[in-house]
Structures are given as structure tokens and as C-alpha cells.
Amino acid sequence: MAVAASEGLRERLVAGLDKEAPEPGPELLKALSGFVHPEFPPLERPEGRNLPDEFYATVADRYRDAAARGLNPRSAIAEAAEVSTDVAGRWVREARKRGFLPATEPGKVKV
């Protein structure tokens, strides 16, 4: 429906039909730049001090989603939950600790 509603988008897609699709990664993200991406889903923190595994599993899902979109995962999570990047970083660390994300080096994105 979105393609049908936008003549400009339709023209851009048709112009690229003869091109080979890039492999998943930075080149694919570059090829898709300018196209509409679904809004990053909000993240709501449950009440209480001890957060459940389900919350950290959701944090891990949002982390992977942000990385796939080429966003900084910690910043995207912070914005989605309306918290500081420090809080989002603690949630990501805990998600890794609980096994929802693989171990990584500080400053490196790994999903």
C-alpha cells in the first residue's frame, strides 16, 4: 500500500530492479536508506526493583532490532524507554548476564 501511495518511492524501486541485492550488513542498510523504517517500539519498564527475565529478553530483542537498523542499541533503548543511556547500558549488561545476548567487549555491538 505504501508503495502504491507514493509515486516517488515506486519510481525508486523500479529503477533498482536490475541491480543485484547486497548481502545483509552495512551495504544493505545503505541501499535501504531513504526508505521508511517502522518506528522503533517503545519499551516500558515494569514496576518493582527486581525486573523479570521477560523484561531483559525484551531489552535483548530491542538491542538486536536497533543494531539491525544501524542504530546505536544503547541509545535506541534509552530513547524507547525514556531513560538515560547509563540505565539502558545497565539493562543491556544484565540481559547479557542472563544469557539473552552474547558476551562482548565494552564498546562493541554484538548480537
**Which pairs count as long-range contacts for 48-54, CB under 8 Å and 24+ apart, including other chains?**
51/91, 51/94, 53/98, 53/100
Residue 89 sits at φ, ψ, to 5 deg, of -65, -40
Residue 54 lies in a domain: yes
* Domain coverage including residue 108: 24-111
- Structural domains of the chain, count: 1
Residue 90 lies in a domain: yes
7-61 pLDDT, tens digit each:
776 777 777 777 776 666 666 666 666 655 667 889 999 999 999 999 999 999 9
Residue 19 lies in a domain: no
pLDDT of amino acid 73: 94
Residue 32 lies in a domain: yes
Residue 80 lies in a domain: yes
Task: Specify which of 6-20, 62-76, 82-96 reaches the highest per-range mean pLDDT.
Answer: 82-96
How far apart CA 95 and CA 102 sit, in angstroms, is 9
What angle in degrees, to the nearest 10, is found between the helix axes of 85-97 and 73-81? 110
Residue 72 lies in a domain: yes
Residue 101 lies in a domain: yes
Residue 7 lies in a domain: no
